């Protein structure tokens, strides 16, 4: 291509030279020589080998680069479309794409299956228990509170598959408040000193007096336990905003 162009230019200059030669009757050879020298000079000056290559190749490289850029942009576009901004999602979509497990109920440690559960998963379990739990506080304050939740021992035994060697279960809240129990503490039944006929399992509650905890107020789970024997101060063991159930 470049060679054709050079030949074309040489021809063009030659023709121009000839024309001027024929127009002027003067010394033909001298004129022609001048004209030839001029042609060579012009060609050498403007079209040195390197420059020709540059002149021809640069636009191709640029074109290739542009093509590549366009391809890359085309590839990017669908990806952007597939990940819409969090604000643009509906409530249901947010729940689906939610990776923040802060409010999930986590079970970690000596279990076959470590779990990170959302409320809907707990509600679907066949280990639900609800009752009025009696509480006694440090200063003798008493009361009854209705709780609904899952039985903790069943959760550990049937769902998380607690390991044989496990001995300690710590209920850790988001504020760092922690209550430790032995495996036997979690397995056993509890009483209400005011009503000897009842027996209660230890539960992880999500509903108190008919109302679910609001996730905006932290992890919506509370550990609830009755009394071991009359006089047992059980209220401080009710751990609210549970983060992790740690099995050791």
Ligand X SMILES: Nc1nc2c(c(=O)[nH]1)N[C@H]1C(S)=C(S)[C@@H](COP(=O)(O)O)O[C@H]1N2
Nearer to ligand X, 39 or 240 (CB): 240
| Residue 236 interacting with Mo ion (CB under 5 A) | yes
137 lies in the site for ligand X, by CB under 6 A:
yes
- The answer to whether 172 and 242 are in contact (CB under 8 A) is yes
- The entry of Mo ion, ligand X, none that residue 39 binds, CB within 5 to 8 Å by partner kind: none
Three-class SS of residue 181? strand
Strand spans (E) along the chain: 105-109, 115-117, 128-136, 142-151, 168-173, 178-182, 190-192, 195-200, 203-208, 211-212, 222-224, 242-247
DSSP string, 187-211: HS-EEETTEEEEEE--EEEEEETTE
Segment lying near Mo ion (by CB under 5 A), choices 128-136, 179-187, 192-200, 234-242: 234-242
Footprint (CB under 6 A) of ligand X, residues 162-181 = 173, 175, 177
Q: Is 148 in the site for ligand X (CB under 6 A)?
A: no
Q: By CB under 5 A, which span of 26-34, 80-88, 101-109, 236-244 interacts with Mo ion?
A: 236-244
Among 162, 183, 239, 247, binds ligand X (CB under 6 A): 239
Sole window of 68-76, 189-197, 212-220, 228-236 interacting with Mo ion (rule: CB under 5 A) = 228-236
For the bound state, the minimum distance from the C-beta of residue 147 to ligand X, rounded and expressed in Å, comes to 12
Measured N-to-C along each axis, helices 28-46 and 2-23 cross at an angle, to the nearest 10 degrees, of 150
Quote the CA–CA distance of 12 and 120 in Å, as a whole number.
86
Stretch that binds ligand X, among 48-56, 60-68, 155-163, 230-238 (CB under 6 A): 230-238
- Nearest partner of 204 among 152, 128, 247, judged by Cα: 152
Binding site for ligand X (CB under 6 A): 137, 173, 175, 177, 235-236, 238-241
Binding site for Mo ion (CB under 5 A): 236
């Amino acid at each position: 291509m470049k060679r054709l162009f050079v030949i074309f230019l040489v021809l063009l200059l030659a023709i121009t030279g000839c024309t001027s030669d024929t127009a002027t009757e003067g010394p033909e050879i001298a004129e022609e020589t001048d004209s030839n020298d001029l042609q060579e000079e012009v060609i050498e000056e403007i079209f040195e080998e390197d420059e020709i290559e540059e002149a021809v190749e640069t636009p191709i490289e640029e074109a290739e680069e542009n093509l590549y850029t366009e391809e890359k942009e085309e590839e990017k576009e669908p990806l952007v479309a597939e990940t819409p901004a969090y604000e643009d999602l509906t409530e249901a979509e947010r729940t689906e794409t939610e990776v923040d497990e802060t409010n999930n109920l986590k079970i970690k440690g000596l279990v076959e299956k470590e779990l990170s559960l959302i409320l809907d998963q707990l509600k679907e379990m066949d280990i639900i228990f609800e009752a009025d739990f009696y509480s006694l506080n440090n200063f003798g304050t008493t009361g009854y509170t209705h709780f609904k939740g899952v039985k903790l021992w069943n959760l550990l035994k049937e769902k998380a598959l607690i390991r044989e060697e496990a001995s300690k279960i710590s209920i850790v809240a988001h504020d760092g408040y922690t209550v430790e129990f032995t495996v036997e503490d979690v397995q056993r039944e509890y009483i209400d000193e005011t009503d000897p006929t009842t027996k209660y399992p230890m539960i992880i509650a999500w509903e108190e007096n008919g109302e679910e905890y609001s996730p905006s107020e932290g992890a919506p789970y509370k550990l609830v336990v009755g009394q071991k024997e009359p006089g047992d101060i059980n209220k401080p063991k009710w751990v609210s905003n549970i983060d992790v159930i740690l099995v050791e």
